[in-house]
Amino acid sequence: MAADVPSARSESDLPIKAVYGAGDLEGFDPQVQLGEPGQFPYTRGVYPNMYTGRPWTMRQYAGFGTAKESNERYHELVKAGTGGLSVAFDLPTQMGYDSDEAISSGEVGKVGVAIDSIDDMRTLFGGLPLGDLSTSMTINAPAATLLLMYQLVAEENGADPSRLAGTIQNDVLKEYIARGTYIYPPKESLRLISDIFAYCHKELPRWNTISISGYHMAEAGATPAQEIAFTLANAKEYVRAAQAAGLDVDDFAPRLSFFFVARTTLLEEVAKFRAARRIWARIMRDEFGAKNPKSQMLRFHTQTAGVQLTAQQPEVNLVRVALQGLGAVLGGTQSLHTNSFDEAIALPTQKAARLALRTQQVIAYETDVTKTVDPFAGSYVVESMTDDVEAAALELMQAVEDRGGAVAAIEQGFQKSEIERSAYRIALEIDHDERTVVGVNRFTLDEEEPYEPLRVDPQIEHDQRERLAALRAERDNDAVEAALEAVREAARGTDNLLYPMREALRLRATGGEVSHALRDVWGLYVPRETF
């Protein structure tokens, strides 16, 4: 009998019933909790037609070694049918250091592309139609620097800045919680983010100024409920900072976007995306007084779960990624990156990256999930799980508010400790065989098949150093130093930082030099040793 089947627990450690029915939706009001697709509270999707008109943006994340190598990969992806590029930067670039600094040794070009100056940015996007592509850049603390380089190169190529489309991640709060590529203290980081909002409202009106990310918290171990709770709590902090800087909520909120993970637990992931849209719509309308419907819409990019990929039997990751991508689509994502099956071993090969894109294309063009706007609307299980995830997320958001908001809670170590507790629970379940990971603790092979991964040439670091030496010999260093001093002066005052930063980069100041100019004034963030 179904009633005798024991209940399970979700990734958020919430109960999952073996059987759901109409009784689980008592008090459920479709108009209040769902609305119509494209209408408040956007549970059913932010657009009336969703994928029945056209599919999501198929965005493939790439970047490795030199700008030239990455450029070749981008051309291949565009040729294969991707509609949006997504740039991975190496660790020195993410931390605001140049390739020739001592701290960068051994990391140049390893986890993404090395971009030191506008010269590298020209190479990275050479021959690509930037006016027609949407480009996402996964960059946080130095986001303004990379965005300005991109704008300068696009303008050189004849693109109208008012038509440039894309996203910078620019979400530094989650760096303090889960990832660690922060530079400046939180207060100064929020000031820089507010300046980006104001700059883009005037100069780059189609650009998404921030991609508020739960993905990295999920990769660190956050549950679905924690992922959306801490992401939306961070988003509230950004809105408050922008309002404190004098910006009207409806001037910047339509360009806010979000970034979530898609796990293999498909049903809860669909529920998570629906709950996140509903929570955010009510926050923006009721707490911040947003009048523009676009300010109330939670639009998001999704990436499949890298943390769930295994080095053992890596081809099985193709199945995982297909399920994760399907969950993102059923949850109503606006764009999607599907991971390559070999990413648990090394940087993805060209064939693996192409297969990842083909996975999205099969979902879009060979299944019937794009023929109806919201396939799970009214589902007993998904609507119940949506309510459960929403309630759990709201409880966590209130806990953040009780501690003084996202920044104060970060300084107290609240989000980090909650995520670590969840990660520990999952690790124990795997170790004790209470959670199955195919190929790892069940269905294993006695001997793994050999696999030849893509490797980054260590010569790249030497070549980047030589290019930087040539740049510094060729440019007008007096003009560069004067421009960097203007950046420092703006950092001491209240003027928008992006204008002097743009001038310094135009004169071929490096990304590291611009970051150091801000470090000179603001200092560095030093986390507490213990909580």
Q: Which of 268, 269, 357 is nearest to 318 (CA)?
A: 357
DSSP label at 470?
H
pLDDT of residue 4: 54
CB 94 within 8 A of CB 143: no
The residue-averaged pLDDT of 513-521 equals 98
**pLDDT higher than 90, residue 60:** no
C-alpha radius of gyration, the chain, whole number = 23
With b meaning 16 or more CB within 10 Å and e meaning fewer, what string describes 137-151?
bbbbbbbbbbbbbbb
Identify the weakest region by mean pLDDT among 26-40, 58-72, 414-428.
58-72
**pLDDT higher than 90, residue 457:** no
CB 101 within 8 A of CB 130: no
Q: How confident is the model at residue 6 (pLDDT cuts 50, 70, 90)?
A: low
DSSP label at 155?
H
Between residues 186 and 456, the one the model is more confident about: 186
Give residue for tokens 């991640």.
Answer: 169
Give residue for tokens 């806010």.
Answer: 256
Query: What is the rounded CA–CA span in Å between residue 318 and residue 452?
Result: 17
Instruction: Please tell me the number of Cα atoms within 13 Å of 159 on its side-chain side.
Output: 23
Question: How would you class 121 by CB atoms within 10 Å of its CB: exposed for 0-12, middle for 13-18, buried for 19 or more?
Answer: buried
pLDDT of residue 331: 98
The residue-averaged pLDDT of 123-127 equals 95
**pLDDT higher than 60, residue 9:** yes
**pLDDT higher than 70, residue 209:** yes
Query: What is the rounded CA–CA span in Å between residue 224 and residue 531?
Result: 24
Angle 416-208-397 from CA coordinates, rounded to 5°? 30
The residue-averaged pLDDT of 319-348 equals 95
Give residue for tokens 């990304």.
Answer: 511
Structural domains in the chain, CATH included, are 43-431 (3.20.20.240), 461-522 (no CATH)
pLDDT of residue 82: 77
Give residue for tokens 């209040």.
Answer: 32
Give residue for tokens 């071929």.
Answer: 508
**pLDDT higher than 70, residue 63:** no
Query: What is the rounded CA–CA span in Å between residue 72 and residue 67?
Result: 9
Average pLDDT for the chain: 94
Question: How would you class 127 by CB atoms within 10 Å of its CB: exposed for 0-12, middle for 13-18, buried for 19 or more?
Answer: exposed
Q: Which of 207, 197, 332, 208 is nearest to 260 (CA)?
A: 332
Q: How confident is the model at residue 59 (pLDDT cuts 50, 70, 90)?
A: confident
Side chain identity at residue 433, one-letter code: D
Angle (deg, nearest 10), helices 143-156 and 186-203: 20
Pairing of strands 300-304, 57-62: unpaired
Query: What is the rounded CA–CA span in Å between residue 202 and residue 179?
Result: 31
The residue-averaged pLDDT of 74-85 equals 83
DSSP label at 142?
T
The residue-averaged pLDDT of 50-74 equals 86
Query: What is the rounded CA–CA span in Å between residue 503 and residue 509?
Result: 9
pLDDT of residue 62: 67
Strands (E), 276-341: 300-304, 335-337
Query: What is the rounded CA–CA span in Å between residue 128 and residue 105?
Result: 31
**pLDDT higher than 90, residue 94:** yes
The residue-averaged pLDDT of 438-460 equals 86
Q: What is the pTM of this model?
A: 0.91
**pLDDT higher than 60, residue 345:** yes
